[in-house]
Structure 1
Amino acid sequence: MEIMTKKVLTTKNLTMIAMFSAISAVLMVFEIQLPFSPSFVKFDFSDLPVMLGGFLIGPFAGGIIVFMKILLHFLLNGTTSFFVGDLSNLLLTLSFVLPASFIYQQKKTKKTAIQGLLVSIICTSLLAIIFNLFLIFPLYLKVLNLKMVDLINMIHVVNPLVKDVFTMIVFSLLPFNLFKYSIVSMITMLSYKKLSILFKE
């Protein structure tokens, strides 16, 4: 662990970590509302610098970037969800960046990059369902003093297909996360090669 830490925390890598963290924190501000998701679930590209950092430096660095982006975003913009949204972002971004960057670091080829990203897309999309149903949504509802039926009704307004917990998973949570992480993964594949040459990986 100590050797890995020393290898990652070089001056060059620390500079890259700081840069990716700052870009990621800024990108969190530019949110997009998708038609099939509730107002409190929005799309942004903040996971892109995290994944690029994980590919360039490794999963340990990717994890640091995740924590740093959440911290920087809080310092710059505060929290609008009593930290529930921040916790969700932290858990899901870690779930996304760690598998892909770990798999890619084992053998740095286009094939392993694609394999790693596919594993991350599937893992994160499934974990998002578990995290939301058993941790994030209960916390969110407790903060707002609401019940699950109230949440379902909120989502039903923007997505009429959602009528209960099952349809919320099938027609809202799963499509949103599959879409989000697929888009970020595709952009990662398109931009990583040029970026790796720039930083002389």
Structure 2
Amino acid sequence: MFSKFIISGRRGVITVALFLITSGITLTTTTINQAHATPVSTIQNSTPQINGWTPRAYFEKMMADYFTAPYQSPSEATDKYLTQDAIHEVDGKIVTRKDFIGHVAYLQKNVKSMTFDIKQVIFDGEWFVERHIGRTELKNGEVINSEVAVFFHFINGKIDRAFEMTRPLSGIDSDRHIHTTK
């Protein structure tokens, strides 16, 4: 029952899911220890991987490919991580693959540095849930701190759907532009 609501992307249920995750309640059969990316509990006694990477390492590599100089071009990185028909929902706004590429280009042009403090990672072989605190310093000197939680759905090793919720921790509400330019 819970999976149906998460798959549908209904915001209220995702908020409840985030509460459960941050409260330490296991939602899937595999929970990844945030400090070491090792299995805490699993039915099969193995950590599911994403294209040969632990879920934490996969997320770190994806963020580095997009946002750490010398980063990959927005199209090249997106081809590597997203399906051709990928849809990303950010705070209720639908972002197509084309929109996402434009957003990444905007960030690569305007961001001086970006760091991620990963708080939780859960992967069950199909759904990947990640929560982090991000610190972004723009080239104009503005600093934006945000809490971000994302539910990624994978098909054949690539993201085809993503549901992202953001919460500014500093700055003003208009700083949400860092998460989507749409």
| TM-score band w.r.t. shorter chain | under 0.3
Higher-strand-fraction structure: 2
Higher-helix-fraction structure: 1
Return the TM-score normalized by structure 2: 0.26
Task: Choose 1 or 2 for highest CA Rg.
Answer: 1
